[in-house]
């Protein structure tokens, strides 16, 4: 029994090791950390480009495909667990999914990282009750693992949701690790997406 548990733990560690991510703070949003804020809502929307990816790839809309609602639920639960979700807060969080990629299952199983990486790129913006942007940053979560277990669509997407949610929530809580922050000048001009929920 102990051997089985050890093998499971080793497998999980291997899968998670293939996942990484970074954030880039917008120059216009400031390089400082957020401190002491709470949020009344967490919403995920998609740009036209991301919607096109979803529509052009029917498998992404399947039960095991990419789901902005699952990403939203993951981040909301993390914010709630950190005791930062308050209905009377004057701030709200909006995540705009810019792009994503989910490798073909067979390619991920057979070629692993040689088939490229799975990823989710999105912008997280914090607004006050007047609609003014207080803070903004880009989150990139990537997964390059594969093999028999690591190639399963649902598992790879779950790992990506967790990494994206982990990074986004840490920044909202003011606890981002220094090693996860990339220079932010390159995205300072990125406009908020005029997108609706899918």
Per-residue pLDDT of the chain in tens (198 residues, 90 and over written 9)? 555 343 333 334 444 446 788 889 886 555 567 889 999 999 999 999 988 887 766 555 555 567 889 999 999 999 999 999 999 999 999 999 999 887 655 544 444 554 567 889 999 999 999 999 999 999 999 987 654 444 466 777 888 999 999 999 999 999 987 667 776 544 433 445 544 444
User: Which of 102, 109, 135, 136 shows the shortest CA–CA distance to 122?
Assistant: 136
Query: In 113-129, which positions are buried (b, 16+ CB within 10 angstroms) versus exposed (e)?
Result: eebebbbbbbbbbbbee
CATH 3.40.50 fits 2-187, yes or no: yes
pTM of the model: 0.76
Tell me: the pLDDT tens digits for 23-33? 898 865 555 67
């Amino acid at each position: 029994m102990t051997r089985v548990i050890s093998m499971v733990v080793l497998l999980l560690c291997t899968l998670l090791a293939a996942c990484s991510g970074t954030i880039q703070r917008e120059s216009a949003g400031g390089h400082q950390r957020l401190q002491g804020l709470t949020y009344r809502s967490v919403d995920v929307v998609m740009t036209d480009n991301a919607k096109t990816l979803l529509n052009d790839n029917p498998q992404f809309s399947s039960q095991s495909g990419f789901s902005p609602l699952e990403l939203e639920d993951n981040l909301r639960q993390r914010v709630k667990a950190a005791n930062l979700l308050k209905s009377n807060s004057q701030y709200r969080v909006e995540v705009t999914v810019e792009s994503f990629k989910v490798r073909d299952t067979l390619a991920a199983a057979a070629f692993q990282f040689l088939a490229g990486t799975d990823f989710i790129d999105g912008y997280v913006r914090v607004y006050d009750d007047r609609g003014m942007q207080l803070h903004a940053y880009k989150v990139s979560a990537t997964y390059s693992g594969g093999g028999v277990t690591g190639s399963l669509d649902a598992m790879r997407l779950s790992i990506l949701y967790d990494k994206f949610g982990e990074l986004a929530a840490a920044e909202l809580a003011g606890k981002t690790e220094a090693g996860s922050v990339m220079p932010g000048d390159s995205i300072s001009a990125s406009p908020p997406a005029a997108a609706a929920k899918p």
